[in-house]
Structure 1
Amino acid sequence: MSAHWWVIANPYSGKKGEVAGRAKAALRAKSVAFDLHESQSPEHLADLVAEGVATGATHFAGVGGDGTAHLIVNALMANRSDTTPTPTLAILPAGSGSDFVRTFALPRRIEEAAAHLATDTVYPCDVGRLTGDFGERYFLNVADIGVAAASVKMTERLPRFMGGARYAAGFWLTLAGFPTKNVKLSAGRRSYEGTAINVVIANGQYFGGGMNVAPNATVMDGMFDIQVFAGPRRLAFSVMPKVIRGTHISHRAVKRFVAPSFTLECASDWPVEADGELVGRGPVTGEIVSEALNFKI
């Protein structure tokens, strides 16, 4: 028997005012049982998730991008208890990024993605937990500390018609004024101390509008794929084209670690982003929450 889905649509994703209607039509066309709610703010979205959990919902779908999924995951983790079943999460992509679904090669249009909600196949999925002066924050896909996090603000200022190209443009515009600084990373039994421009903490494989930043990452191994982008800024010009294709791991400026937890000492003005959402500033620690949810594929 197919699940009944608690669907939350971000009306600001995609073309304003269209995503909820498209999601309803697509889900009805696939005979998916659902209740659809539109969120008006991050706080309202969290309330909608809490309401779903309170009513016994176990299957949640976000209509939006990675930011919408990020908010739903954080709300699900906030409402988790020993008595609640492991929640199932689906994404009906409507944002300009929607990078997490690329790890599973899932459709990136609402209409095609809706068909997956009519089946029962799920994938156990880890979630990352970050802790810092900002408190505690969970993430599903990728977190950044450094220039990639700083570029979030620049990207948000760029016109939406640029689509996924906004992320690359935002990065290069930010890089020009972002200095390298000393960091100290401890990850498992290994460590790195030296200059860096960015640190990537990956659960999924893609970020920044389709860049294959962690080609070897898997969301169910209980491990982060951590990469320190070291050296002077000029090396970004040789590294970043490789990041797009996922061939950067062997570059001399990339220091890679695989570990279930980490501690990063960095400048207190270095920003931290998770799933494309700015969450605060460093230093930061993190750990994997293994199989925190089931992801609908």
Structure 2
Amino acid sequence: MTWVVVRNPHAGWKTPSESDIEMALNENGIAAEIHTTTTADHAAGIVATAHAEGRSRFIVAGGDGTLHGLINAILSHDWPRPPTVGVLPLGSGSDFLRTFAIPQDWRRAMTHLVGEERYLCDAGHIEGGFGHRYFVNVADVGVAGAAVKWSNRLPRFFGKLRYTGGFWIALAGFPPREVTVDTGRRTINATAVNIVIANGQFFGGGMNIAPQAALTDGLLDIEVFTGRRRQAFTVMPRVIKGLHLRHASVRTARTARAVITCPANWPVEADGELLGSGPVTISVVPGAFYLKI
């Protein structure tokens, strides 16, 4: 069956042309038709057409943001069985693939599109005053959401350092506030600067934010970063290596659903896309899609 390729021409700093991707697909014996998107609605229309035609194999040619958009388009439809999604990492950040040790180079990643090996993955769902969205990797409520705001203002050639720079800029003006995470079985009350909701393990250009997260367990890993802002100088180096979970300022939970209460102006992001602000309810969508590995 022919793959449907959704290509984001604006992903990353140096994005390969449609003809470059087509040539590489042909060299690997991968039958595909490429659609270069102009807007999020365009990508949703491509998925809707494929769904109507009974096609359910998609390739994302872009970063985590492009994957986020495609998954939301896919999960807006009912499918007889979970669709299959492959990823060619062209964006400034393709952290979702790091959980599966798939190369960040798009030509090397393309070899994972050959054959039939797949991995059934959960997705996350997040709902708030902004509406609702699905996510595949990591969502944040708090300073990490503000970091996305700032990182989007930095030049693309900064690459994965855009998020790191955005985080430290955002942290300077982000005082700790009272938050609550209610899983139904456990409640975390804390003075915090950020709440992580993880389906995958990596974010922010390779930081191992949730080293114990699994995309097949029907659960989301929640991490509440408490304490004063200056603790970030000791916690963040541990986050990079995934060694932060035992730090006194990090409180954790694992759940299929949680209600998160926070200040109304706290930014909310998912997969690197800014969604809105304020309290949210999060839940897992088990077995939402197959990842081609």
Task: Give the TM-score normalised by structure 2.
Answer: 0.97
Alpha carbons 1:260, 1:288 under 8 Å: kept? yes
2:291 maps to 295
RMSD: 1.1
Aligned length: 293
Match of 1:197 among 186, 193, 197: 193
Tell me the secondary structure at the aligned position of residue 110 of structure 2. Answer: helix
1:282 maps to 278
1:250 aligns with 2:246: yes
2:261 maps to 265
1:86 maps to 82
1:41 aligns with 2:39: yes
Tell me the CA shift for residue 188 of structure 1: 4.3
Separation in 2, partners of 1:19, 1:113: 16
1:65 aligns with 2:53: no
The amino acid that maps onto 2:36 is E
Tell me the CA shift for residue 172 of structure 1: 0.4
Alpha carbons 2:6, 2:60 under 8 Å: kept? yes
Task: Give the TM-score normalised by structure 1.
Answer: 0.96
The answer for unaligned runs of 5 or more in structure 2 is none
Separation in 2, partners of 1:148, 1:80: 32
The amino acid that maps onto 1:271 is P
Change (3 A) 1:141 1:4: same
2:94 maps to 98
The amino acid that maps onto 2:22 is K
1:14 aligns with 2:12: yes
Tell me the secondary structure at the aligned position of residue 99 of structure 2. Answer: helix
Tell me the CA shift for residue 42 of structure 1: 1.0
1:123 aligns with 2:129: no
The answer for unaligned runs of 5 or more in structure 1 is none
Using the aligned pairs only, state the percent identity.
Answer: 48
Alpha carbons 1:183, 1:266 under 8 Å: kept? yes
Change (3 A) 1:111 1:251: same
1:171 aligns with 2:167: yes
CA displacement 1:247-276 (0-9 Å, x = unmatched): 000000000101111100111101110000
Change (3 A) 1:54 1:259: same
Separation in 2, partners of 1:60, 1:261: 28
Tell me the CA shift for residue 15 of structure 1: 4.2
The amino acid that maps onto 1:169 is G
